[in-house]
Amino acid sequence: MQPTVTITLERSGAWRGVAGGGQHRHTRGEPGPFTRPVRLTMHSGSVLARPRRLPLENASVASIACLDVLEYIRNDDVAIDEIARVLAPGGALRLRVPATGPLAGLDAYNLMHYLVDTSRRGIRPHETCEVGWRRHYGVEDLTYMLGQERFRIVRVRRRGLAIAELIDFAAMALFRWFRPSQDHYRTGKRLAREIERIEHRIIVPFGATLDLEAVRLP
């Protein structure tokens, strides 16, 4: 049995040139006919996989951490079904997703989407191109997706103040919309990620990120 598996979004960008079917034309930044892969990291290494079919045996994993994935993929409910399939009874699941609430409106990718649509200039964020917008979840949403017959939720925490989101949006607006500069954007992105790591340690009732822990039921 694999003791622990971490599921993260593949961000290399190499997969974006592979279409999932058809030759339909899309406007710039419109969702395309492909499925973004996820990266599974285990003690034996890491592999790419489609979230709708994880390359793992039934009930073969003792612990899964699915971090910042569900909000970007088309079939988030199918991904949860796959997680339930491969997680052994008694196994631990950790999910981290953007939260609904007062800070949800500060989502950098969704703000950039609004900016491009209203200005009719630039390209919508490719990071959210599979679903168009970055989703936000409440506890009720995750409870329904997990299913009370499959999982028992043991802890829910909300983290962060969305400061990293504002920095990320400023970097996108300045260096991917107003005056494109890949180098400057990467610098801004690195700053946003560093602040995000700090924010993940801050627990507040209205936090921008929802961090949920659950146990797989028999």
Residue 21's pLDDT band (boundaries 50, 70, 90)?
A: very low
- Predicted pLDDT of residue 14: 56
The domains located in the chain, with CATH, are 5-216 (3.40.50)
Over residues 139-146, mean pLDDT = 97
Over residues 121-135, mean pLDDT = 91
pLDDT for residue 204 is more than 80: yes
- Predicted pLDDT of residue 54: 94
Of the candidates 70, 200, 83, the residue with the CA atom closest to the CA atom of residue 134: 70
User: Tokens for 46?
Assistant: 């890491």
pLDDT for residue 196 is more than 90: yes
Q: How far apart are CA 20 and CA 185, in angstroms?
A: 29
DSSP state of 196: H
CB count within 10 Å of CB 118 equals: 8
Average pLDDT of the residues of the chain: 90
Strands 5-9 and 61-67: parallel
pLDDT for residue 144 is more than 60: yes
pLDDT, tens only, 104-116: 999 999 999 999 9
Rounded to 5 degrees, what are φ and ψ at 211? -120, 110
Strands 61-67 and 87-98: parallel
pLDDT, tens only, 152-188: 999 999 999 999 999 999 999 999 999 999 999 999 9
SS3 49: strand
